[in-house]
Structure 1
């Protein structure tokens, strides 16, 4: 009993210290959100990335991806071994002990979760209430500072037209409850003006959420039949302009990729944008995912001298093709990240977001510079 009392006392004193330390946090700076993909712990060799590899001073907000929706309509871990047994949740939120200004959020959803079960959950008030109760319990249990809702996407991929209104209702009800606990609510949305119109009640979103994170990447999907841009700035600008018609610009956060897309060309003599491909590119050694390369994997290729590199100023993207072979990559550089961070400032947006910090440069063998994240920081926090 005495030991329990001492433990509770120490926890209470720690919370008081963190609260006082947080009083000194800047209140008018841009936000820098960084996602952590929890499956990164399973990557090959030095590419494996755990919560211990996160520098808690880099980002203003860290998001743990992903949790999911259970068959009963409540939030759940998608990898309990990683999240709970190996203390992924606990270690992630524990990073605040090193940076009291840091906010940690838990993301729910993601591409693999699909849409149908979310569509069912938002369709009935009783289901929404049960979901909200489960969210509060999980966030408080593991000391998260909020929820990031990454439903991909309302009214699409098995959803129904009513999702647009029902998702708005859920966000309103969710925020009312989260606010009682001083918890944040953010949503992640795609770089698509079509889906914006079909899927999102932007008036309801503006009233309910703290930030809207635009996923400014994957413009050309991995299963594309032709080569294409990863994150073209002209398309991003159109999406941002559409959102800020009804949502405060200070709530809009622009996401950038700390990765690239690769394809295998059909013909080595046809190597530009919009040319036929045989399929996704060969998987990187660290990431092990066809058509996907982390930032350091890309740098290793393009700095080898084996590739011809092309920049497009309108898209603010690069592509590279192997001089002798069929390998083709679309990617960004520190130059384009700087451009996009300055764009965030020029549009008075709320900040920037990185998907994901575990594919940035992080180990000594990979330069340990967190080049993508630090490039954004340099511009956003210059003043």
Structure 2
């Protein structure tokens, strides 16, 4: 009876000249939205090619999932005093079958996938006489290797005391790059460390006018050998919030503080990309009974604190010999066994950071670096565990 009534209703609808309702278009017609639409959040993936160096299983270029990453940041080049560009790893990246050729082929699997390389400079960016030549050389380089843009990092500004003229010349360079990049549809990204002192070296309001986006590397807040030597206590590589036990200066060393600082200085939230890391810090405890933030750690002036990654740490999360500790204030995990303690990111903490980026209406997230994720699923979960966690958060109810 129900089927007969339904059929009769459809017939009457057609008879009256009305049309059955059309199917609503999909909210995201493509598998991943492009970076210039209203809902898009960038998922930037930094990748280091260790194929020729690492004995352990590593992430090959062809294994990169172009439907998770919207932008891939690959390798780096250096600017010379004559404004020429030199590959930092010509053996790996140059020529037929080289790294740049291989990543350019990834775009064939997803036309919306963007590839960029990092340009590191040590002062030439601030020479107005070289500006025009420099811009032309950068564009020519990108076209030669079929790249979509650059991630610009100024080591000069990061390591020196910037004066007013440096700030202005850097803005003028970005302006010149943008004018030329726009003609060729290229992406101009700026990468900055997540410290207040670094932020103060930029005219944030002005540079924001000319860059496509700013990657704010909100990590490496603790574990620096120079700092740990003076204060031999543990801290997390990327706490989300400050701790009530911290003093005024220490409360600046977290994601929340530095993101809000850039915004108050004039950076549009939608141009800020929250930089996260899949690395960790491997501490040696003085007392295995004292763990977590502020735990006394052994410092050897001859050696830096060894880094590790989620790829090597995640197997221990299910090992009963290891104990996991969650810092409720800073929203980050530690894992320890006897005198060894690792400060790292796990699924819970990286999800909170992605939720934070979404709540703050940032332009997206950036992962440094994806070969340190569980790219093979060897910990028993899905492949690219952390990366997919962030991606799902940013695309949920966009």
* TM-score clears 0.5: yes
Give the corresponding residue for 2:196: 193
Aligned-partner SS, 2:131: helix
Q: CA deviation at 1:258?
A: 1.5
Q: CA deviation at 1:195?
A: 1.7
Give the corresponding residue for 2:112: 101
Aligned-partner SS, 2:122: helix
List alignment gaps of at least 5 residues for structure 2.
Answer: 1-29, 242-253
Q: CA deviation at 1:267?
A: 3.7
Matched-pair contact (CA < 8 Å) for 2:351–2:393: yes
Asked if 1:335 corresponds to 2:348, the answer is: yes
Matched-pair contact (CA < 8 Å) for 1:230–1:317: no
Distance in 2, Cα, partners of 1:336 & 1:127: 44
Q: CA deviation at 1:49?
A: 2.4
Distance in 1, Cα, partners of 2:368 & 2:132: 30
Q: CA deviation at 1:290?
A: 6.1
Give the corresponding residue for 1:236: 255
Give the corresponding residue for 2:288: 268
Asked if 1:164 corresponds to 2:167, the answer is: yes
Asked if 1:278 corresponds to 2:298, the answer is: yes
2:306 to 283, 291, 308: 291
Matched-pair contact (CA < 8 Å) for 1:265–1:278: yes
Cα shift readout 1:102-141 (whole Å, capped 9, x = no counterpart)? 11111122xxxxxxx622x123212222322221111001
Distance in 1, Cα, partners of 2:299 & 2:173: 39
Q: CA deviation at 1:378?
A: 0.9
Distance in 1, Cα, partners of 2:119 & 2:278: 21
Give the corresponding residue for 2:42: 31
Give the corresponding residue for 2:122: 118
What are the within-5 Å matches in structure 2 for residues 1-383 of structure 1? 25=34, 27-28=37-38, 29-39=40-50, 41-46=52-57, 48-85=58-95, 86-109=97-120, 118-119=122-123, 121-152=124-155, 154=157, 156-158=158-160, 160-161=162-163, 162-197=165-200, 199-223=201-225, 224-225=228-229, 226=232, 227-234=234-241, 235-245=254-264, 246-279=266-299, 291-322=306-337, 324=338, 326-363=339-376, 365=378, 369-383=383-397
Matched-pair contact (CA < 8 Å) for 1:41–1:49: no
Give the 3 Å change call, closer, same or farther, for CA 123–319 of structure 1 in structure 2.
same
Distance in 1, Cα, partners of 2:306 & 2:166: 31
Distance in 2, Cα, partners of 1:301 & 1:270: 19
Aligned-partner SS, 2:159: coil
Give the 3 Å change call, closer, same or farther, for CA 69–365 of structure 1 in structure 2.
same
List alignment gaps of at least 5 residues for structure 1.
Answer: 1-20, 110-116, 284-288
**Which structure shows the bigger proportion of residues in helix conformation?**
1
Q: CA deviation at 1:279?
A: 4.0
Q: How much is the aligned-residue C-alpha RMSD, in angstroms? A: 2.5
Q: Normalised by the size of structure 1, how large is the TM-score? A: 0.83
Distance in 1, Cα, partners of 2:76 & 2:161: 20
Q: CA deviation at 1:313?
A: 2.3
Q: Identify which range, 175-184 or 362-371, moves more after superposition.
A: 362-371
